[in-house]
Amino acid sequence: MLRLSQIHKIFNEGTPDEKIALNNINLTMNKGDFVTVIGSNGAGKSTLMNMISGVMQPDHGQVSLDSKDVTFMTEYNRSKMIGRVFQDPMAGTAPSMTIEENLAIAYSRNKRRTLRLGVTKKRRELFREVLESLHLGLENRLNAKVGLLSGGERQALSLLMATFTEPSILLLDEHTAALDPSRAELITKLTKEIVDQYHLTTLMVTHNMQQALDLGNRLIMMDKGQIIFEVNEEEKAKLSIEDLLNEFQRIRGTKMASDRALLS
């Protein structure tokens, strides 16, 4: 489904600020896999996401999606196959447009955009139906501008928009990090429901270790641009946060350098 082979990425190469962002990343995800990614700040998690989504291109290595080489495919072309939810709840929706217009944009993600009406009667029914699955009452506010929604509602809508057209892969980039605990819990619950419902292949970056353990069937830990630790479904079920921290210390010889990761 998704295959990353020997991905290297260096920022500011040849200058004093040179930083190795990704160092020989190899990752294969099969259909239906839900992989959670943890790691301290600067571990390369976001760069990894950007490589897959096409925001950046690797210096070396290959990205393939649905057994197609997409390494140099433009971001917007690749988006036909990829659903994304960003950390910032404001980033995934267009604030001055209505809920149904936002959903219409998401609906066209894997189709050719034409001069046909964006929101038709038939589509509105579909939008209402998928919005009901969020249990937030948004299905009764189809004509409300998205800018009027709360952060949690906007993130739930972003999640729905990224998923209801069933992308080949779903990328979640710390999508609950900017929300208050109760909202974050709601989004986590919705993520689980939606991924199960559509059987989505999902890659989720998170700072929250508990979330990384609760969700998904595989877990990888990154540090300094490398994947340093990887567990499969059976091992993951037995892991606790202490195990993860101990494992990090065993591999790296230092404590995990992220207050956010420890606190959460």
Partner 1 sequence: MFTAIFGAFESGIIYAIMALGVYLSFRILDFPDLTVDGSFVTGAAVAAIMIVNGVNPFAATMTALVVGFFAGCLTGVIHTVGKVNALLSGILMMIALYSINLRIMGRSNVPLLNSDTAMTAVKDFSETTGIDGFFNGMLTAVGLGDSLPRTWGILLFMIVVTFSIKFITDAFLKTEIGLAVRATGDNERMIRSFSSNTNLMIILGLGLSNAMVAFSGALIAQQGGFADVGMGIGMIIIGLASVIIGEAIFGTKSIARTTLAVIGGSIIYRIVVTLALRVEFLEPGDMKLITAFIVILALTAPKMIGTYKEKKRKARRQLEGLAALNIPLERKGEAGAALKSDS
Using CB under 8 A as the criterion, which residues of the chain lie in contact with partner 1 when the complex forms?
53, 74-80, 82, 84, 86, 90-97, 101, 104-106, 108-110, 113-119, 161-162
Task: Name the residue nearer to partner 1 (CB basis): 33 or 101.
Answer: 101
Give me the least distance between CB of 91 and partner 1, in Å please.
6
Identify which of 160, 192, 236, 205 has the alpha carbon closest to the alpha carbon of residue 53. 205
Could you give the CA distance from residue 162 to residue 55 in angstroms, rounded to a whole number? 17
DSSP string, 155-192: HHHHHHHHHTT--SEEEEESTTTTS-HHHHHHHHHHHH
> Looking at beta carbons only, is 77 or 246 nearer to partner 1?
77
C-alpha neighbours within 13 Å on the C-beta side of residue 3:
8
139 token code pair: 């299905």
Angle between helix axes 99-107 and 121-132 (nearest 10 degrees) is: 100
Residue 159 CB, nearest approach to partner 1 (Å): 13
Least CB distance to partner 1 at residue 86 (A): 8
Query: Which of residues 116 and 238 has its CB atom nearest to partner 1 in the complex?
Result: 116
Q: How far is the CB of 154 from partner 1 (least distance, A)?
A: 11
Nearer to partner 1, 1 or 97 (CB): 97
